Amino acid sequence: MMAIRRRFGAQFQGNGRTCFGLWAPDAREVRVEIADGRDWPLEGSDSGWFEATLPCPPGTRYRYRIDGRPGVPDPASQFQPDGVHGDSQVLDHDAYAWRVDEWRGRPWHEAVIYELHVGLFGSYAEVERFLPRLVELGVTAVELMPLGEFPGRRNWGYDGVLPFAPASAYGTPEQLKHLIDSAHGMGLMVFVDVIYNHFGPDGNYLAQYAAAFFRDDRQTPWGQAIDFRRGEVREFFYENALMWLLDYRVDGLRFDAVHAIPDSAFLVEMARRLRGAAGPERHVHLVLENDDNRASLLRQGYDAQWNDDGHHALHVLLTGESDGYYQDYPEPLRCLARCLAEGFVYQGEANRHGRPRGEPSADLAPDAFVLFLQNHDQVGNRAFGERLSVLAEPQALRLAIALQLLAPMIPLLFMGEECAAREPFLYFTDHQGELADAVREGRRKEFGEFGRFGDGAALASLPDPNAVETFERSRPGLADCDPAWRGFYRQLLEIRHEHLIPRLRGARSLGVTTIAGAALSARWRLGDGSDWRIDFNPSPLEAEVEPPAAATQVLFLDNLACAEYRRGRLSPRSIAVSLEPAHE
């Protein structure tokens, strides 16, 4: 792998010596305080960097004392054994002996992603013990929700403040590497969700000595915007992403809410830097969450984007909900048809606020879009964290699952959905004092704007994010997995692996036809010249479709007889998936 010089944090140099680097442009003096009582000054420069190479072996615990104030953790700390306010610890990333050293990843088109929260499993070790079940199901990639050190012992993941330090509540960096190593040994890719658009509200000391890290003229929902115009700020996040790819050998990153990063040049440069460092021999996958639907980024180094449009259309179709952003999908079947044919629903059209959203996406391959029915956002940001197993009628949900897993987009599953888990996934934190009160009240205020929470009793019943019970209630019921439901997922993924994935590279849409506003028929030309077809009828009425050609192989039917489908009739609440071989 390519050697990368890194300036942020404590970089072990060998021979018991470590180079410490801190960008603190507002500081006059910086000292490293070692837990055993030693301390040394760092040498400053006009550029705001303070650096020194000191006799500190791996395992050394340290803090930075800036201008005589009480010591603070390293913002690029690689481990925080005692949490966000404790000492940082020097690591030697080369000390771990990788068992699957020849792993180079898997191609993107083979991805079947399973998103999970490590804390709800208990630890890195518990997740590792769960991996064989994912392999047996047909999953090929595990996506770990954010791992950056957070305040307290539990957090849903998006309040992290030290992005270089894997959460100590889940185990050690070595245990995380062992998890990733074991996954690779089973043929599983590992992705990590990274947050470069904000820091959490507790434990971030950057503003005390590097005010230039943030902008005074721009706010985000999480506070002052990060100033990506500054080279040192960009480098901080480049180095973090490189750490995940090179030191932990993850196979990909999912970039959270990049619509909150106004500098698209930073994102383009991020992709270029990461691919250059990983080299051509590795499969490295970069995935965006981007509410702005900036399709142009998918032509500039990024493999795919989470398709919120696809989720929203399917959610409205399944539940009939029309609050908030679901108002933008009043004709869900028509919206779904556009997603299947062109990727995004919104490609520059005005949303409910009258603002244009999105860029043209029809030229992109189907696997440039990650399609999901549930994920941490779409469940966890609900007031009561309900899953579709609670909200949707079972047969309607079966059809949507079949559509998702057998469409040529990349499917993402959210932990527990393969078991029809009914436990909620709630927003949970472990804040204390005034911050805990502010988070609790902010949650009530947020949902008080929705009509269905208009009465005080409903708002009073909202789960307290800081209560231990809220965290415990969010554990998915994997031990009591419904075998029939899990078998349904496994059946669909076997079809995907046998018939779709080998032909998926090079696929393109042949268009989608809506039938009487109630059903749709979608076709794609696959990479080997064959045609993939999905006929989807979620309505209570029968629909007529073009009868499949005689040579067509019918791969999957739900609530529909094969003879009936061969005659071009689509039963109410049914789906058919077929493959027509390439013409000679």
* Active-site annotation, residues: 256, 289
**CA–CA separation, 504 vs 510, rounded Å?**
14
**CA–CA separation, 290 vs 360, rounded Å?**
14
Bridge partners of 575, per DSSP, are: 536, 558
Contacts of 501 (CB under 8 A, 6+ apart): 109, 110
Collapsed DSSP state (helix, strand, coil) of residue 444: helix
Q: Is the dihedral of CA 368, 369, 375, 377 positive or negative?
A: positive
Residue (of 102, 108, 410, 504) closest to 281 by Cα position:
102
**Calculated CA dihedral for residues 422, 425, 426, 431, nearest 10 degrees:** 130
Full DSSP string of 1-12: -------SEEEE
**CA–CA separation, 536 vs 530, rounded Å?**
20
The H-or-E segment that residue 562 falls in is helix 562-566
Full DSSP string of 468-503: HHHHHHTS---TT--HHHHHHHHHHHHHIIIIIHHH
Residue (of 527, 528, 582) closest to 553 by Cα position:
582
Contacts of 334 (CB under 8 A, 6+ apart): 514, 517
Collapsed DSSP state (helix, strand, coil) of residue 209: helix
**CA–CA separation, 129 vs 302, rounded Å?**
31
| Phi, psi (degrees; rounded to nearest 5) at 9 | 85, -165
Residue 348 corresponds to which tokens in the numbers above?
């520059």
Q: Is 40 left (phi over 0), alpha (psi -120 to 50) or beta?
A: beta
Residue with tokens 């696997």: 367
Residue 92 corresponds to which tokens in the numbers above?
């030697």
Angle CA 143–304–423, to nearest 5: 35
**CA–CA separation, 10 vs 52, rounded Å?**
10
